[in-house]
Amino acid sequence: MNTAILWFRRDLRLADNPALHLALREAERLIPVFIWSPEEEGEWAPGGASRWWLHHSLADLAGELAKRGCPLVIRRGDSLAELRRLARETGAGGVFWNRLYEPAAIARDTRIKEALREDGLEAQSANSALLIEPWQIRTGGGDPYRVFTPYWKAAQALLPAGRLEPVPAALVPAAEPPQSLPLEALELLPRIAWAAAFPGRWQPGAGGARQRLERFAEDVVLDYSARRDQPAQDATSGLSPHLHFGDIGPRQVLMRMQRALAEDRGSGRIATTDHFLREIGWREFAHHLLFHFPRTPTEPLYDKFAAFPWRKPKDYAADLAAWQRGRTGVPIVDAGMRELWTTGIMHNRVRMIVASFLTKNLLIPWQEGAKWFWDTLVDADLANNTLGWQWTAGCGADAAPYFRVFNPVLQSQKFDPQGEYLRRWLPELAALPTDRLHMPGAQRPAIVDLAETRQRALDAYARIKGA
DNA sequence: GCTCCATTGAC
DNA sequence: TCAATGGAG
């Protein structure tokens, strides 16, 4: 084959890109293409924050490709139609891509693979996004895992080893350059100034991802176990949006961590690196679950929770709005929701706190929280978002037992003892003494009584228990 | 079928 | 202490 199409989706990098190497094995000339087709992702088209990231990550990828003499082609519309058109225009003999695991994407890609093969084209997919593909791991009984610890234990034996595919220094483009839209034509950037603070916080793209991984592996991971749960600290990797868009892949992360370990065995690095890789394991587990239980983005994994007595939309609309805007009167909740709105991210510890508050204290369905996160997080990822929300709501895999209701005041005191995080995101409270800072009503009257609503949640759970 | 372990907590 | 549950053995 003379020419191959490399179809980029959420693998926006040249390093450790197996589809790229599949294509280069088959063909001399390469046509890298990105097709904007959000309607093909059903209910889960990228949200506003994700689109901001995608724009900049695509710009970075286009730059890297141009440097190697092989410009990125940008199209919009029906993916299959555009791939066929591109193959016709260029005489390409095949299409290569890296797999996605969302139900809508799997259905689309399966259909496209069949259609391209019927056209007489080669069509092949590869794995760039996961250490272990969802179908590689089963319990002794042959079922998918639903509990993390045994899943991750089984995963150890299947972790990839060996070298990663190198980045080609140069690529050969199509004989005739195909038509391409300018990136701006996709209109991915928000029209309002909402994302104004994002560029100071993030550098989307493969270069930014590599810098983050280096900094983390050299320095931050040393204290990861001790500091990861404190939202005021800059003690996490910050890799989640990069991993979502494939600016970097989990194999690159794993190999870098293994190198860090090899460089200084005997230090405290072993335990803390394992702890971090365990979090990468949660990402793998989330994809395992989404693949095997594709209805979970909207439905509880365990059927009996379908009968859970959530409040009704007309009753909770005002409380939901207060939660979204960071006006609940519970400081740690409001701080987290403001961090999310301003930066497109929220510390994982705080995600659990605000999610517990929404589902248990406000008794609002977890799906509402999942939708809000979907639109506001730069790292919005269907697998991770679904697992996180169902975990907190108590209806999903490896869930916290429902009777474990987070107390946001205790959580705040424990994980932000100096009130540093609270003062950062609620500057109007900066002058308060720390002990008062954590308390509901410090800034505005709390919309609910914590003790009362905790009991209401426990009662609601008791009603469906054993159903 | 049984025991044991683990499970980002609160009272 | 409370308490539910999956998974391993």
Q: What is the pLDDT of residues A112-151, one digit of tens each?
A: 999 999 999 999 999 999 999 999 999 888 889 988 988 9
Per CATH, the homologous superfamily of domain A303-464 is: DNA Cyclobutane Dipyrimidine Photolyase, subunit A, domain 3 (1.10.579.10)
Strand B bases contacted by the protein (CB, 7 Å): 6-11
pLDDT at A442: 86
Q: Which nt is closest to the CA of A401, judged by C1'? A: C4
Is any atom of strand B within 7 angstroms of residue A203's beta carbon? no
- As a whole number of angstroms, the distance between CA A340 and CA A377 comes to 7
- Paired sense of beta strands A29-36 and A3-8, if any: parallel
Q: Tokens for A235, please give them.
A: 């003690």
Q: Which nt is closest to the CA of A411, judged by C1'? A: B9
**Low-confidence residues of chain A: pLDDT under 50:** none
CA–CA–CA angle A101, A105, A106 (5° rounding)? 65
Is any atom of strand B within 7 angstroms of residue A406's beta carbon? yes
- As a whole number of angstroms, the distance between CA A302 and CA A119 comes to 42
Is any atom of strand B within 7 angstroms of residue A415's beta carbon? no
Q: What is the pLDDT of residues A310-341, one digit of tens each?
A: 999 999 999 999 999 999 999 999 999 999 99
In angstroms, the CA of A229 and the C1' of B8 are apart by 9
Tell me whether residue A263 is exposed, middle or buried, using C-beta atoms within 10 angstroms of its C-beta: 0 to 12, 13 to 18, 19 or more: exposed
Q: Tokens for A311, please give them.
A: 């409040």
In angstroms, the CA of A138 and the C1' of B3 are apart by 23
Please state the residue numbers annotated as binding site of A.
224, 236-240, 276, 379-381
Number of CB atoms found within 10 A of residue A418's CB: 11
Q: Which residues bind near strand C, taking a CB cut-off of 7 Å?
A: A 139-141, 143-147, 150, 153-154, 302, 401, 403, 465-466
Taking alpha carbons only, the member of A54, A379, A35 closest to residue A188 is A54
Q: Which nt is closest to the CA of A353, judged by C1'? A: B8
Which segments of chain A belong to CATH 1.10.579.10?
A: 303-464
In angstroms, the CA of A100 and the C1' of C3 are apart by 38
CATH of domain A3-126: 3.40.50.620
Please state the residue numbers annotated as binding site of A for FAD.
224, 236-240, 276, 379-381
Q: Which nt is closest to the CA of A279, judged by C1'? A: B8
Which segments of chain A belong to CATH 3.40.50.620?
A: 3-126
Length of chain A: 467
CA–CA–CA angle A386, A391, A397 (5° rounding)? 85
Catalytic residues of A: 279, 282, 310, 348, 366, 389
CATH of domain A130-163+206-292: 1.25.40.80
pLDDT at A267: 63
Residues ≥6 apart with Cβ < 8 Å to A329: A440, A441, A443, A444, A445, A446, A447
Q: From the C1' of C7, which residue's alpha carbon is nearest? A: A150
Query: Which stretch of DSSP H or E encloses residue A448?
Result: none
What's the per-residue H, E or C state across A341-402? HHHCCCCHHHHHHHHHHHHHHCCCCHHHHHHHHHHHCCCCCHHHHHHHHHHHHCCCCCCCCC
Q: Tokens for A249, please give them.
A: 């892949």
pLDDT at A464: 77
Contact between A368 and A359 (Cβ < 8 Å): no
Which segments of chain A belong to CATH 1.25.40.80?
A: 130-163+206-292
pLDDT at A166: 87
- As a whole number of angstroms, the distance between CA A3 and CA A396 comes to 46
Number of CB atoms found within 10 A of residue A91's CB: 13
